[in-house]
Amino acid sequence: MIAAECHKENERHYGMEEPIIKLVNVSKTFSSSTGDVEAVRNIDLEIEKGDIFGIIGLSGAGKSTLVRCLNLLERPTEGSVFVDGKDMMKLSNKELSLKRRDIGMIFQHFNLLMQRNVLDNVAFPLEIAGKSRSQARKEAGKFLETVGLSEKADAYPAQLSGGQKQRVAIARVLASDPKILLCDEATSALDPQTTKSILNLIKDINKSFGITVVVITHEMSVIQEICNKVAVLDHGHKVEEGTVEELFRAPKTEEAKKLVFSETAHIRRMHSDHQVRVVFDGKSAFEPILGNITLELKTPLNILYANTQTINGNAKGEMILQLPPNKEVADKMVSYFKEKGLGVEEVTYVE
Within-domain flag for 101: yes
**Beta bridge partner(s), residue 345:** 277
Q: Sheet holding 52-56: strands in order across?
A: 103-107, 180-184, 212-217, 52-56, 229-234, 237-243
For residues 270 and 213, membership in a common domain is answered with no
Q: Say if residue 247 is in the same domain as residue 265.
A: no
What CA–CA distance (Å, rounded) separates 346 from 115? 56
In a domain, 161, yes or no: yes
Residue 175 lies in a domain: yes
Closest CA to 220 of 286, 316, 303: 316
Domain boundaries, position 133:
18-251
Residue 336 in any domain: the answer is yes
Q: How far is CA 104 from the centre of its chain?
A: 16
Please write the tens of the pLDDT for every residue from 260-311: 876 555 555 555 567 888 887 766 555 678 888 888 888 888 888 777 777 7
Does residue 239 share a domain with residue 302? no
CATH code: domain of residue 160: 3.40.50.300
CATH number for the domain spanning 341: value is: 3.30.70.260
The total of structural domains in the chain comes to: 2
Domain-terminating residue out of 251, 269, 299: 251
User: Are 35 and 117 part of one and the same domain?
Assistant: yes
In single-letter form, the type of residue at position 177 comes to: D
Pairwise CA distance, residues 301 & 288, whole Å: 13
Based on the fold, state whether residues 205 and 309 are members of the same structural domain. no
CA 334 to chain centre: 32
pTM of whole model > 0.85?
A: no
Q: How far is it, in rounded angstroms, from Cα 174 to Cα 236?
A: 30
Q: CA dihedral in degrees (233, 236, 237, 242; nearest 10)?
A: 30
Diameter over CA atoms, the chain? 77
Where among 223, 251, 279 does a domain terminate? 251
178 & 303 share domain: no
> Is there a contact between 102 and 178 (Cβ–Cβ < 8 Å)?
yes
Q: Which of 230, 251, 272 is the last residue of a domain?
A: 251
Please check whether residue 162 is in contact with residue 189, taking contact to mean a CB–CB distance below 8 angstroms. yes
Within this chain, do residues 243 and 291 fall inside the same structural domain, yes or no? Answer: no
**Is residue 10 one of the residues assigned to a domain?**
no
Q: Residue 80: what residue type? A: S
Residues 234 and 267 both lie in one domain: no
Predicted confidence (pLDDT) per residue in 64-112, tens digit: 999 999 999 999 999 999 999 999 999 999 999 999 999 999 988 888 9
> What is the rounded radius of gyration, in angstroms, for the C-alpha atoms of the chain?
24
Query: Given the DSSP bridges, would you call strands 52-56 and 229-234 parallel, antiparallel or unpaired?
Result: parallel
What interhelical angle do 162-174 and 118-128 show, nearest 10?
A: 20
pLDDT in tens, 131-186: 999 999 999 999 999 999 999 999 999 999 999 999 999 999 999 999 999 999 99
